[in-house]
Amino acid sequence: MANSGVEEKILTVRYAVDFNIVGDNISDIAEFTVEKYEFKNDTALSPEQREKAMKAITDVLWQQVEQLKQQHRRVLARMFDAAETTLEEVVGE
């Protein structure tokens, strides 16, 4: 650091999403989807089919959540880049 007497600040950027709530929502979506299927097709899935369907649905939805997390990180990186570029432009004026 240029000024040895200056402490380095560590920035913590928080997620605006509560992933516990997302998990609850994913479970609700999976349950609703299975029930909707059973209603529309006038059938009842066996416990094994239901368990397999619930796992497959929750897995695919969590994959989408992971993709959103990665996108969030990329957006944050672009924001920091834009902030740094803007600062350099202002200071260089």
pTM for the model stands at 0.71
Over the stretch 19-46, which tens digit does the pLDDT of each residue have? 788 888 999 999 999 999 999 999 999 9
Q: Which pLDDT score is estimated for 14?
A: 73
Q: Which pLDDT score is estimated for 58?
A: 96
Q: What is the mean pLDDT of residues 3-29?
A: 78
**Nearest residue to 71 (alpha-carbon basis) of 10, 9, 11, 17:** 17
By mean pLDDT, which of 12-16, 80-84, 85-89 is the weakest? 12-16
Neighbours of 50 (CB within 10 A): 17
